[in-house]
């Protein structure tokens, strides 16, 4: 019986495509190591995100392709990850951050901050290095939802050191002002504040910064788009019919600011608010519908006491939905990077 060669394995892997990117794993430079020992083959695959939603599909396809080689008796697949990089971020901000994801809504009261916080933590739970930036200058709620309301920022070597909770780094204007202090900022003052939250903070090396935007479409959105290369934007809405109008406002703002739209999330789905407004809005507006988060009183209760649902009740339907959304969003970010440069070897 002829022995199996590494070259045969590589050729077999050229038939395996990344389901999201549509190119084969060899071309994408996702095959990092192949070892052959008699009839045993070990393959190491480097994913474009640790939160890859189709990891099991890729594993099955790799096993099947290699197993078809005559003489192969055992196939072992191992994974690591190297998140795709939006190179504009370092070029413009000199930050070692690979992707910036903005979470927005057409109006307040749709659970935008709750979604942003839980998505950031869910990405970290998958193994990504994540920060969250609270750009809601007028109503910074991220400290409350992370249990950091009494935290005050320290400065080290001229940079503000972000707070840490649940495996993510966090920065908010709420750390710099008294809890009952009203902020009435517009124009240059707001512009400067948002810039400082990015550039004057010791973020370190991160795969994703999730930015919790203020509701609506105003100065903060404009400042963010002018200052920061946003990799992609998310729109959070509710299931009611009026969600379509609200989502449309958020979508138009992103498009006018030339921010790629990752898709729409329907929050608080079911029971009182019904189901389907977010999905209908996505269809009418021609953007992806990413999924829905079911209405759950524990989501609100947890947010009020700094206990995010993906941490305290990880097996609840809402937590499972948020973790799946995190995986879908991570995959969409990888796809955006590839679409921006189809010849890119994404790893």
CATH number at residue 35: 3.30.300.130
The CATH number linked to 108 is: 3.40.50.300
User: Can you tell me the distance from the alpha carbon of 302 to that of 308, in angstroms, rounded to the nearest whole number?
Assistant: 5
Contact call for residues 142 and 151 (beta carbons, < 8 A):
no
Q: Are residues 129 and 155 in the same domain?
A: yes
**Residue 138 placed within a domain:** yes
Task: List, for residues 186-210, the tens digit of each pLDDT value.
Answer: 555 566 777 888 999 999 999 999 9
Domain count, the chain: 2
In a domain, 347, yes or no: no
315 has a pLDDT exceeding 70:
yes
- The dihedral through the CA atoms of 175, 176, 179, 183 has a sign that is negative
Q: In terms of domains, do 98 and 72 share one?
A: no
Q: Closest Cα partner for 165 from 139, 177, 152, 147?
A: 147
- Tell whether 345 is covered by a domain: no
Q: At what angle do helices 297-304 and 112-125 cross, to 10 degrees?
A: 90
| 135-156: b (≥16 Cβ within 10 Å) or e | bbbbebbbbbbbbbeebeeeee
Per-residue pLDDT at 183 exceeds 60: no
Q: What is the pLDDT of residue 119?
A: 98
Least confident of 54-68, 176-190, 265-279: 176-190
Shared domain for 130 and 229, answered yes or no, is yes
Beta pairing partners, 212 = 103, 134
Are residues 105 and 191 part of one domain? yes
Q: 192 and 57 in one domain?
A: no
pLDDT digits (tens, 9 = 90+) for 67-106: 999 999 999 999 999 999 998 999 999 999 999 999 988 7
Domain, as residue range, for 237: 88-340
Instruction: Give the Cα separation of 120 and 145 in Å (integer).
Output: 12
Out of 21, 52, 81, a domain closes at: 81
Tell me: do 132 and 31 sit in the same domain: no
pLDDT at 196: 86
Q: Which of 200-209, 228-237, 257-266, 288-297 has the highest mean pLDDT?
A: 200-209
Residues 115 and 260 both lie in one domain: yes
pLDDT tens readout for residues 98-108: 999 999 887 77
In a shared domain, residues 254 and 198: yes
Domain identity same for 16 and 104: no
Q: What tens digit of pLDDT does each residue of 39-67 get?
A: 999 999 999 999 999 999 999 999 999 99
Query: In this structure, is residue 346 part of a structural domain?
Result: no
Q: Which residue, 40, 60, 81, sits at the end of a domain?
A: 81
Is residue 193 domain-resident?
yes
Average pLDDT of every residue of the chain: 87
Looking at residue 318, what is its pLDDT? 95
Considering 81, 110, 139, which residue would you say is the last residue of a domain? 81
Confidence at residue 217, expressed as pLDDT on a 0 to 100 scale: 61
Same domain membership, residue 165 and residue 49? no
Q: Any idea what the Cα angle at residue 57 is, between residues 210 and 324, rounded to 5°? A: 30
Q: Do 39 and 133 lie in a common domain?
A: no
Tell me whether residue 92 is in a domain: yes
Q: Considering the domain boundaries, does residue 122 fall inside one?
A: yes
| 1 assigned to some structural domain | no
290, pLDDT greater than 70: yes
Whether the pLDDT of residue 212 is over 80: the answer is: yes
Residues 160 and 282 in one domain: yes
- Asked if pLDDT for residue 5 goes beyond 90, the answer is yes
Q: Considering only CA atoms, which of 244, 246, 221 is closest in space to residue 233? A: 221
Q: What is the pLDDT of residue 254?
A: 84
């Amino acid at each position: 019986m002829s022995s199996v060669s590494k070259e045969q394995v590589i050729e077999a892997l050229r038939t395996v495509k990344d389901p999201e990117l549509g190119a084969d794993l060899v071309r994408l430079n996702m095959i990092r190591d192949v070892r052959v020992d008699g009839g045993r083959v070990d393959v190491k695959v480097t994913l474009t995100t640790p939160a890859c939603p189709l990891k099991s599909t890729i594993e099955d396809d790799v096993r099947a392709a290699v197993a078809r080689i005559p003489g192969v008796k055992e196939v072992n697949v191992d994974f690591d990850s190297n998140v795709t990089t939006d190179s504009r971020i370092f070029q413009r901000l000199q930050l070692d951050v690979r992707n910036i994801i903005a979470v927005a809504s057409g109006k307040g009261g749709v659970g935008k901050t709750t979604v942003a916080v839980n998505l950031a933590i869910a990405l970290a739970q998958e193994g990504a290095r994540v920060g969250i930036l609270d750009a809601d200058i007028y109503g910074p709620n991220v400290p409350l939802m992370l249990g950091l309301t009494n935290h005050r920022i320290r400065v080290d070597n001229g940079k503000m050191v972000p707070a840490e909770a649940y495996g993510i780094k966090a920065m908010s204007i709420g750390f710099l002002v008294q809890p009952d202090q009203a902020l009435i900022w517009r124009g240059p003052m707001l512009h400067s504040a948002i810039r400082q939250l990015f550039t004057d903070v010791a973020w370190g090396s991160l795969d994703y910064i999730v930015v919790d935007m203020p509701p609506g479409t105003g100065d903060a959105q404009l400042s963010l788009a002018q200052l920061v290369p946003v990799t992609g934007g998310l729109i959070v809405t509710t299931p009611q019919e009026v969600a379509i109008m609200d989502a449309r406002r958020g979508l138009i703002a992103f498009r006018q600011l030339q921010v790629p739209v990752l898709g729409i999330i329907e929050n608080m789905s079911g029971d009182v608010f019904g189901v389907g407004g977010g999905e209908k809005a996505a269809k009418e507006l021609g953007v992806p519908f990413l999924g829905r988060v079911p209405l759950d009183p524990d989501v609100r209760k947890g947010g009020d006491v700094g206990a995010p649902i993906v941490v305290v009740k990880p097996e609840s339907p809402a937590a499972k939905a948020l973790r799946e959304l995190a995986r879908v969003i991570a995959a969409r970010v990888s796809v955006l990077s590839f679409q921006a440069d189809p010849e890119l070897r994404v790893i």
